Amino acid sequence: WSVALTRRSARVGGCSMGSFRSTSRCVLCLAGTSALLILIDSISEVVLYSRVPNGFARLIGVVIGCIIALSIPYCGWQGVRDRNDGMLCLFSHFSYAIGCLDCLAFCLCCALVVVGVGFTHLAQSCDETAQPNDVCDDDLKNKLYDTCEEFSIHFKKAVLNSTLTSEEASQVAAEMNDRLSEQKCIDTLAGWGFVLAAAGVILAVTRCFLLCLHCASGHYGGKVRTLLDEDPRAVGSDSDSD
């Protein structure tokens, strides 16, 4: 009986160690992917703000934000290598928290798509070439014209107060005023609605990927903690992640 029990314990321990190694690799892979995405996003923001006048303060904010964001995948990476339950706990719970924010952002992106599609349909229904319909009447069409006119006025003020030269600002304002004229207002609004919907789809797909990434990080981070609690021998053993 003692020999059978010893063999059974060996099989169970081997299975636990194999599961620990594979789960650890998942955590390392997820943490590395998160760190890479954070670095790519931060570098793109640095390049963008480096070309903007007086963008030094924003660059400092980007660097600080990058350091804070990288601390989460660092906890997962170092927690696996050192078998540190506290760091794995931070990695797992913060990943779940960010996943909840991703879920909220995904819902907002879907709402953005709905608004964009609805706005495009409304603008197309008010087009001069459209057949008479119950969606758009003269009163609604006049409101759209008024919206274009008000936006053109506010846009011109914003451009004139920007860092552009007076000549460049006047040219940009004139182009926008032409696009928002009564003859082109409906077509411009329809185009903006399409762009809004397309941007919402792209953002929704991106946010869905990040949602899966962060939820998987939280799951596998918690699984490593559970395996460490169930098999303390994994704490002092060497794994392929070292």
67-85: average pLDDT: 92
Kindly indicate the confidence band of residue 164, based on its pLDDT and cuts at 50, 70 and 90. Answer: low
Whole-number pLDDT of residue 227: 86
**CB–CB of 72/167 below 8 Å?**
no
Q: What is the pLDDT of residues 112-135, one digit of tens each?
A: 999 999 888 887 777 766 565 566
Kindly indicate the confidence band of residue 2, based on its pLDDT and cuts at 50, 70 and 90. Answer: very low
Q: How large a percentage of the chain has pLDDT more than 90? A: 36
66-87: average pLDDT: 92
- CA dist 227 → 92, 104, 159, 215 (Å): 14, 31, 59, 18
CA distance 162 to 173: 12
Check whether 202 has a pLDDT greater than 80: yes
83-101: average pLDDT: 93
- Of 15-19, 91-95, 198-202, 203-207, the poorest mean pLDDT is in 15-19
215-219: average pLDDT: 94
